[in-house]
Structures are given as C-alpha cells and as structure tokens.
Amino acid sequence: MSEKILEIRHLSKTFGTNLVLKDIDFTVNTGDVTCIIGASGSGKSTLLRCLNLLETPTTGEIMYHGNNIAGAKVNAAKYRSKVGMVFQSFNLFNNMTVLQNCVVGQTRVLKKEKEEAKKNALYYLEKVGMAPYINAKPKQLSGGQKQRVAIARALAMEPELLLFDEPTSALDPQMVGEVLEVMRKLASEGLTMIIVTHEMAFARDVSNHVVFMAGGVIVEEGAPDQIFGAPREHQTREFLGRFM
Ligand code: ADP
Ligand code: MG
C-alpha cells in the first residue's frame, strides 16, 4: 500500500517582488519516483529547497504525513533525516573523511552509537561502490565519486524520501553514468525520490511521474510515456524539442 508522504498545496514563493513559485500543488506517495524537468530559472531548485525547509514558502502548505510544516516550528535537522537532499555541488564536509561524512549525521541527529553508525555508513558506501575510499578526503575524489558519497551519506540517515537537485549537472560527462546507475538501483529498490534532472532518457526510464515546470508553475504532469511521448501542452513540446 502506498502512503502519502508529502502533499503540497497552493505553494507560492516570492523573492522580493519576484514570484518564483505560483500555486504549486502536488503529492508524493511512498515508492514514487518523480522527475521534475524544466528550463533554468523555472523554480525547480526553489521548490526542492522549500520541501527540504531550506526556504520558507511565502504562502501555501507542505503537509508531511498530514501535518503542515510550512512556517511551523519543526526540528529541521530531524525532518531532513527523513526528507534528505542531494545537491548538484555535493556539499560534502571537506575536512572529514568519506566515512566520517557518512557517520556524523547519524551520531549527531539520530543519536546513534558510533559503531552502529559506522556499520550503517559502510553498508551504504558499499551500495554506491565507495567502500574502498572510506579514509579518503573529498578533495582526493572525482566528481562522480563525491556525488556517490553524498548519496551514501543521505541514505545512511534512512530517509523516507530523497530529493536530488541536478545531481549530475556538475559532473564531467564520463562520470554522469556512474551516478545515474546508482540512482537507477535505488529506484528499483523502491526508494521514494524526487529528482530534478536534464537527463531526459533517464527520467523517462526511471520515473513513474514527471512534472514539467516553466515560469514557476507546473505546466503539465503525468506518466513519463505521456509527457515524453504525447505532451499535451505547447510549452512542454517546445521544451522537449530542445533535447531531440
Ligand atoms: P531552477 O532551479 O529551475 O533553475 P531556481 O529555483 O533556482 O530555478 O530559480 C527560480 C527563480 O528564483 C530565478 O529567477 C532565480 O533567480 C530566483 N531565485 C532563486 N533563489 C533566489 C534567492 N535566494 N534570492 C532571490 N532570487 C532567487
Ligand atoms: Mg536549479
């Protein structure tokens, strides 16, 4: 049975006089793999940042298991252990080793014992193929390796939902595949994810739901075969045409 994790209702966000998200509605159920596509500046990152409580919506509701967390007093670190985020620029702790990166959130936020946290970290580093690098510092790693560590770090918190903001956009082309492969594996294992991406073939393959944004609104959303194969809106066709 799939359960509703997040329900976004009438979410809007302004920066100064710039209305960057307008009346966004959508729902995330357990097991959903949602890809958000759209041109640069359409509001994709701002939306993910609202969902991760890095931005406060100007109006609207973010219902998390039925409770509105938008503007409410919530423990952000605790919430982010449930709704994690992987960034374009990795955001690893550069002064820590790979293993420490994957342990610190578990001990500080989840209050796990160090040994248990290490064991758990190793399990996820293994999953992303980074177990041989536990003692390396981020600066010794390639971009693709750093992103795989960032994914392991997020997974080690055992989130219900993982948000990815263009996880392969900062990578050299030869490293994109290794990160997408890890994400494909996570999708096949049933992890609930929202992925902002420009990798259209990947999005079509891996998602069960695609959201196309432009100018701060959801122009069209639906099943991947519908969005990519038979888009209803002119704007969607025009956007997808750029990738042909
Ligand atoms: P995308 O991720 O789709 O490229 P963003 O969410 O980053 O889009 O940006 C949407 C719009 O919001 C852009 O016009 C951007 O300049 C603006 N914006 C994003 N963050 C801020 C901010 N912190 N302050 C002011 N404007 C912002
Ligand atoms: Mg962005």
pLDDT digit string (tens) for 139-159?
Answer: 999 999 999 999 999 999 999
CA of 41 relative to ligand 2 center, distance in Å: 7
CA 51 – CA 45 distance, rounded (Å): 10
Reported as a single tens digit per residue, the pLDDT across 67-126 is: 999 988 899 999 999 999 999 999 999 999 999 999 999 999 999 999 999 999 999 999
Q: Which residues contact 195 (CB under 8 A, 6 or more apart)?
A: 33, 34, 35, 36, 163, 164, 167, 183, 203, 206, 207
Instruction: Give which of 35, 85, 91, 100 is closest to 55, Cα–Cα.
Output: 85
> Is residue 168 in contact with ligand 1, taking CB distance under 6 Å?
no
The encoded tokens of residue 81 equal 């252990």
- Tally of helices (H runs) and strands (E runs) in the chain: 9, 10
pLDDT at 144: 97
Task: Report the SS3 class of residue 83.
Answer: strand
CA 167 – CA 150 distance, rounded (Å): 10
Reported as a single tens digit per residue, the pLDDT across 171-229 is: 999 999 999 999 999 999 999 999 999 999 999 999 999 999 999 999 999 999 999 99
* Complex ipTM: 0.98
Q: Which atom of ligand 1 is nearest to the CA of 48?
A: 6
Q: Which helix (H) or strand (E) segment is 241 a member of?
A: helix 234-241
Instruction: Say whether pLDDT at 244 is over 90.
Output: no
CA 94 to chain centre: 21
> Is residue 45 in contact with ligand 1, taking CB distance under 6 Å?
yes
Q: Which helix (H) or strand (E) segment is 44 a member of?
A: helix 44-51
The encoded tokens of residue 69 equal 């967390």
> Is residue 43 in contact with ligand 1, taking CB distance under 6 Å?
yes
Q: Which atom of ligand 1 is nearest to the CA of 13?
A: 12
Q: Which helix (H) or strand (E) segment is 188 a member of?
A: helix 173-188
Beta 193-196 vs 33-37: how paired, if at all? parallel
Supply the residue whose CA is at minimum distance from atom 5 of ligand 1: 43
For ligand 1, pick from 12, 13, 15 the residue to mutate: most ligand atoms within 8 Å of CB.
15
Backbone phi, psi, residue 84, to 5° = -85, 170
For ligand 1, pick from 12, 22, 45 the residue to mutate: most ligand atoms within 8 Å of CB.
45
147, 168 contact by CB (below 8 A): yes
> Is residue 81 in contact with ligand 1, taking CB distance under 6 Å?
no
CA of 38 relative to ligand 1 center, distance in Å: 13
pLDDT at 71: 81
pLDDT band, very low/low/confident/very high, at 165 (cuts 50, 70, 90): very high
Supply the residue whose CA is at minimum distance from atom 2 of ligand 1: 45
Instruction: Say whether pLDDT at 243 is over 70.
Output: yes
Among all bound ligands, the one having the nearest atom to the CA of 56 is 1
Mean pLDDT along residues 165-173: 96
pLDDT band, very low/low/confident/very high, at 1 (cuts 50, 70, 90): low
CA of 132 relative to ligand 2 center, distance in Å: 32
Instruction: Give which of 35, 7, 27, 1 is closest to 163, Cα–Cα.
Output: 35
The encoded tokens of residue 185 equal 């594996």
